[in-house]
Structure 1
């Protein structure tokens, strides 16, 4: 007996569930894993370090409403994320900034900084593609240098394809900074939940109108038949369903599988205070892994004498391979968008089926955008 079924107890599902519960709706949340929080799941390891089991999650936003909504369920602690990149055996700030320039090109740095400031007045950051197309030959050469050292090999490792085949929106996510601001993000609100994301989402789901069933594969209880009717426990279901999982799985792969990139994580512990100088160090070139995250740099418990890191190895998603059976990143290519559109056309035939989140909407989402999307979706459902 419920008013809404939500598939997935990650951030999208939890935000949707909470808002609906506060509207006096009875909500049933079905979660395939035996844990809540989706890929934001974190926990304490044997060293007392709070690790992000499915890779680092950093919250940042310019949306005051999103920030205030999360603050209802936890204490958000300020945290400004900084990333270094190992380039030519040196550690430099990423995104590439004036300090990076001084470290890697010391003899040309002053001239190039002046050229950049003249060419882009009153601008704090630019796209690498802008530099590559610039008429100033020296700036164009700088663009080629940064592109080769920072983008080309990292992007090829991350996506498994040459950078020429990667959508420009992916490349533009990491700018070139015209100054010394070494923060990875420049948003107004940059913070982490003091007791972790799992606790944040647990508090969000803690409502008498919300029932959560863990270790529950929703595809065994809920499906869309060939007539695009929603069936739940074998019966026609005409109430709202919010789906946050992979859309092709919901439709039993009727048009084929959507491609994703997956990740293999290699965790290591050390009997020392710190392993590296920043929370994340990127390895864009020589190594097979893309980055190393050291969790003690994040807000939370910081036990002395021990630390935990994780190396990330990108690989192609394969639901039959236990090392690659988690879809993380939709691959933003034209043929994939066309395939997704076929599934979306069937979704549009199901008046009570709503999609929310990275997998369901087959798009890249930051955490704040997921929250904002879920809040908007509930308002849409409310209006009928």
Structure 2
């Protein structure tokens, strides 16, 4: 008899497995359909011996010391600040847009103060900001919107920015200084030996049993367990009762090149050309020294594994129907991106998992009689 059946061995499932096993002494069965732990953060050494990210670049960054300290219990770190360039009008320029982006693109020599005025003169007034297009044109105007945002967004999401919620492009800042870091968080590091090694350390407990290449539906009625933590797609859990929640997927093409370096930064975006959105080179991220280099091309797709919930009002309404079912389901906790139909960074998923663990522990003391936990489960999810 397991205390917990946890579905999904990514950040949400693995953090909860670790906490429940090591802090409470609970017995955990952790299952995943894939042949590896780590979810989309899984990394591996390719045939050339270069450490790559199987599902595209995962850059850890957070402003939470508590989250950073927690993960530091399972890995040493390599300091790394991610930088991204965009191929625009045949030039490589910094993304997010900053002072150097515009000066390089237009052959100008604006100061930060002049750049603010330059942007303000091009910004278009928008009465009510509702869409991703509204966000961008109200800040930087139509021309930069067309060069940097529209094409990339249409490739990434399969729809025009005017059809997407404002949250998509609101995540990308515009800077009036020369700061070319993609993120500005206080803690910006990469696991020194990779994400997979970090997950292996996290799950190294005699109270945790991991089953890979295992579908939850094949074991849920066979393996005795008291409670469930589910991190998969919430619509799938309920048999797509109200229809499928829309997601965007990705296809990856990994290549190894017989040269030491391919591009000047970890990621180069292609907002105006190509059918892929970006190329990433992992040696920038990992610091690995190797005579060859490995890169990954990313192709957005409507088909495949779910990666990004599509933020549109009708999708949010559909999710709410599933959320109401989830809240009424005893003994099951829904955690993570797919189970809550939200786009989270890695640190946010860790934070959500740690918060869920605290609620579980508050509502369900270790060693309590758990034969009837319907009321306890509802309280923990509230």
TM-score by length of 2: 0.88
Q: Give the distance between the partners of 1:297 and 1:128, measured in 2 at CA.
A: 32
C-alpha change, 1:129 and 1:342, in structure 2 (3 Å) is closer
Q: CA deviation at 1:233?
A: 2.5
CA deviation profile, 1:167-194 (whole Å, cap 9, x unmatched) = 1110111111110000000000000001
Q: CA deviation at 1:67?
A: 0.2
C-alpha change, 1:350 and 1:130, in structure 2 (3 Å) is closer
C-alpha change, 1:315 and 1:118, in structure 2 (3 Å) is closer
Q: Give the distance between the partners of 1:111 and 1:63, measured in 2 at CA.
A: 33
C-alpha change, 1:25 and 1:310, in structure 2 (3 Å) is same
CA contact (8 A) 2:81 2:183 kept: yes
C-alpha change, 1:67 and 1:205, in structure 2 (3 Å) is same
Q: CA deviation at 1:145?
A: 2.1
Q: Give the distance between the partners of 2:317 and 2:284, measured in 1 at CA.
A: 41
The match for 2:187 is: 189
CA contact (8 A) 1:194 1:300 kept: no
Q: Give the distance between the partners of 2:73 and 2:84, measured in 1 at CA.
A: 29
Q: Give the distance between the partners of 1:149 and 1:197, measured in 2 at CA.
A: 34
The match for 1:143 is: 141
User: 5 Å matches for 1:43-54?
Assistant: 43-54=44-55
Alignment size in residue pairs: 351
C-alpha change, 1:284 and 1:19, in structure 2 (3 Å) is same
CA contact (8 A) 1:98 1:178 kept: yes
Q: CA deviation at 1:358?
A: 0.8
**1:207 partner SS:** coil
**Aligned pair 1:350/2:337, yes or no?**
no
CA deviation profile, 1:305-351 (whole Å, cap 9, x unmatched) = x111111110103xxxxxxx211111111111111111111111112
The match for 1:241 is: 228
User: 5 Å matches for 1:16-165?
Assistant: 16-22=16-22, 23-107=24-108, 109-110=109-110, 113-114=113-114, 116=116, 132-133=137-138, 142-165=140-163
TM-score by length of 1: 0.87
CA contact (8 A) 1:128 1:172 kept: no
**Aligned pair 1:381/2:351, yes or no?**
no
**2:286 partner SS:** coil
**Unaligned ranges ≥5, structure 1:** 121-126, 135-141, 223-231, 318-324
Q: Give the distance between the partners of 2:136 and 2:254, measured in 1 at CA.
A: 37
**1:240 partner SS:** strand
Q: Give the distance between the partners of 2:287 and 2:214, measured in 1 at CA.
A: 31
CA contact (8 A) 2:230 2:339 kept: yes
Q: Give the distance between the partners of 2:162 and 2:208, measured in 1 at CA.
A: 47
C-alpha change, 1:354 and 1:146, in structure 2 (3 Å) is same
The match for 1:259 is: 246
The match for 2:374 is: none
The match for 1:303 is: 290
C-alpha change, 1:295 and 1:160, in structure 2 (3 Å) is same
CA RMSD in angstroms, aligned pairs only: 2.0
